[in-house]
Amino acid sequence: MDLRPIGIFDSGLGGLTAVREIMRVLPGENLVYFGDTGRVPYGTRSRETIIKYTRCDLNFLMTYNIKAAVVACGTASSIALPVVRGEFPVPMVGVIDCAARAARDATRNGRIGVIGTPATIKSDAYRRALHALDPALQVVSNPCALLVPLVEDGRFARGDTVAQLLVREYLAPLLERGIDTLILGCTHYPLLTDVFRDVCGPDVALISPGATAAADTKALLLEQGLLNTSGRRRQSSYFVSDNTVGFARSAEMFLGCPLEGELTRIEIEKYENRETE
Amino acid sequence: MDLRPIGIFDSGLGGLTAVREIMRVLPGENLVYFGDTGRVPYGTRSRETIIKYTRCDLNFLMTYNIKAAVVACGTASSIALPVVRGEFPVPMVGVIDCAARAARDATRNGRIGVIGTPATIKSDAYRRALHALDPALQVVSNPCALLVPLVEDGRFARGDTVAQLLVREYLAPLLERGIDTLILGCTHYPLLTDVFRDVCGPDVALISPGATAAADTKALLLEQGLLNTSGRRRQSSYFVSDNTVGFARSAEMFLGCPLEGELTRIEIEKYENRETE
């Protein structure tokens, strides 16, 4: 039994879709979220910068005495997590590996589709993670430049003609190749689930990295005896590195419920060096 | 006769559509462009920050001994230009005022439409500029959140179904109000001119702030005897505050021709204080 919070970070607010899933499967856990909204996006930055930012973000979360860290940012998960994992005394879950394992388990015909931002697809992180699990998997990917702006503009409901048109266009080459499993490789995409479902039909498994990370976090806490079974009401704290106003407005959309708990702006640059404990 | 270059700056790469128009109407002029790609966008920042960045950008351009400055950024034009204009010893042209005057001159029924990013429309800068010229003008505006990502994804040609659908949706409330003049209030929008033209029909005048700024710059140079009539080949220099790779790729799209001249990354923060001359 462990009352310490779970720490989650993302380069922006998309990581709140992972928080949503963690709240669902681990309703008793306290949470600390950091969204690096002042330095978003990570995907276009250099390897060194991504590692530096990730260390920074984890240093900040560590000041809240977290018991586990969830790296909800795909870029940080693939580039920085393998480097920094050993530097922190808590177990870490990254979205890429969780989603790759879930996709490997879900596919029957071995054909897996991956969609994401142009930076994520160019990084080839999902393909590498999938091939590390099973080199025989066929991976078909497609960058979807307009889905993040679309979701951020609130246009993700079933009835949105532009959303429907774009998703159909982006998924066409993947469906033509006969994929039976689709990794929604961007934290924003779960909001478009209804549209993806309509376009893919019922026979394609949709893998949401946030949901798989939440499931893996639960398994990890169970295994290591770290669950919070106090039955006390959950406490959540949210931190950002830019304006809190814009964040509060969008947070509800990504969480699927109003933001509970305090929201604070911090100067993340101050956490470049780890505090001595 | 004056060989000194014209300085142009924008918060990013959209200002290159103004450069394109300046090259067209002033083919003999040398140019220095600065795109503040490391600090884009300006529209969501505080008034003080926008003024500070604008001073910085102008300080940098002044080191190239410019004879005139074109503020291609709508946010900097409306918020900072009135404040900083007197601080620099060169004439300055801002996109907002030029476009407002051109729209006032173009309209016959006094109903002017304005489209732009959510930040530009929220700032109400075009409406204020139009009403300063003529309080009787009816101004109808609409924020278009998805047009910048659409253009940056290269989807602006007549045949693009998503572009057509979005433009039709964004312009519908303006056309219903009977506008006969439309200000394309974002530097990215001139690339969508064919789509706007198809949706608006032939009777709505399209006002491109970059083109009106180019025309005003020409008039200003003529009037003040500052034209470069040497007949020498134009020299252009481009500077950005972030990665040059991404910029070079997109620049051709905005310029409508390959980028000629050197492209250099600078540390714009170094120009916060004006160099003593």
B6 - beta bridge partners? B31, B68
CA-based nearest residue to B37, from B249, B274, B235: B249
Which of A222-226, A242-246, B179-183 is the least confident region? Answer: A242-246
**A68-71 vs A6-10, strand pairing mode:** parallel
Q: Is A246 on the interface with B (CB under 8 A)?
A: yes
Option in B145, B161, B165 nearest A149 (CB):
B145
The answer, yes or no, to whether residue B197 has pLDDT greater than 80, is: yes
Residue B187 counted as an annotated binding residue: yes
Chain A residues closer than 8 Å to B155 by CB: 146
Euclidean distance between CA atoms B262 and B274, whole angstroms: 24
pLDDT, average across residues B143-152: 94
> How far apart are alpha carbons B94 and B213 in whole angstroms?
7
Q: Is B243 on the interface with A (CB under 8 A)?
A: yes
- Catalytic residue positions of B? 73, 186
Same fold, B6-94+211-271 and B97-209: yes
Q: Where are the beta strands (DSSP E) in A76-214?
A: 92-94, 111-116, 138-143, 181-184, 205-207
| pLDDT for B128 | 97
Identify the pLDDT of residue A277: 43
Distance from CA of A44 to the nearest CA of B (A): 9
Do B153 and A165 count as a contact with CB atoms less than 8 A apart? Answer: no
Q: What is the DSSP string of A65-104?
A: T-SEEEE--HHIIIIIHHHHGGGSSS-EEEHHHHHHHHHH
Tell me what percent of the residues of chain B surpass a pLDDT of 70.
Answer: 99
Q: Return the structure tokens found at B130.
A: 């139009």
List, in order, residues 6 or more apart from B124 with CB less than 8 Å away: none
Mean pLDDT of B79-84: 94
Whether B115 shows a pLDDT value over 90: the answer reads yes
Lowest mean pLDDT of A140-154, B108-122, B204-218, B248-262, name the range: B248-262
The per-residue pLDDT of chain B, averaged, comes to 94
CA distance B232 to chain A (A): 39
Please report the pLDDT score of residue B245 as a whole number: 82
- Contact between B3 and B32 under an 8 Å Cβ cutoff? The reply is no
- Amino acid at the residue A88: F
For A105-122, the pLDDT digits (tens) are 999 999 999 999 998 999
- For the cut 70, the answer to whether the pLDDT of residue A101 exceeds it is yes
Question: pLDDT value at position B275?
Answer: 62
Q: Within an 8 Å CB–CB cutoff, is residue A172 touching chain B?
A: no
- Tens-digit pLDDT profile for residues A162-177: 999 999 999 999 999 9
Name the burial class of residue B273, with classes exposed (0-12), middle (13-18) and buried (19+) by CB atoms within 10 angstroms of its CB: exposed
A276 confidence band (pLDDT: 50, 70, 90)? very low
Q: Taking CB atoms and an 8 Å limit, are B146 and A145 in contact across chains?
A: no
Fold category of B97-209 in CATH? Rossmann fold (3.40.50)
Q: Which of B12, B10, B14, B22 is nearest to B211 (CA)?
A: B22
Q: Is A161 on the interface with B (CB under 8 A)?
A: yes
A131 is in an annotated binding site: no
Where are the domains positioned within chain B? 6-94+211-271, 97-209
Binning pLDDT at 50, 70 and 90, where does residue A249 land?
Answer: confident
E strand or H helix at A172, and its extent? Answer: helix A161-176
A111/A126 Cα distance (integer angstroms): 13
Contacts of B40 in chain A (CB under 8 A): none
Q: Is B223 on the interface with A (CB under 8 A)?
A: no
Closest Cα partner for A69 from A22, A139, A132, A130? A22
Q: Is the minimum CB–CB distance between B162 and chain A shorter than 8 Å?
A: yes
Instruction: Please tell me whether B42 is known to bind a ligand.
Output: yes
- A166 to chain B: which residues are within 8 Å by CB? 162
pLDDT greater than 80 at residue B276:
no
The verdict on whether residue B160 carries a ligand-binding annotation is no
Residue found by looking up tokens 């160099």 in the block:
B275
Q: Which residues of A touch B47 (CB under 8 A)?
A: none
Average pLDDT score, chain A: 94
Phi, psi of A223 (to 5 degrees): -60, -40
| pLDDT cut 70: percent of chain A above it | 99
The full DSSP string for B214-244 is: HHHHHHHHHHTT----S-PPP-EEEEESS-H
| Cα–Cα–Cα angle for A84, B244, B24, rounded to 5 degrees | 155
Interface pTM, i.e. ipTM: 0.84
User: Is residue A203's pLDDT more than 60?
Assistant: yes
CATH number of B6-94+211-271: 3.40.50.1860
Q: Using an 8 Å CB-CB cutoff, list chain B residues near A143.
A: none
Q: Does A150 touch chain B (CB under 8 A)?
A: yes
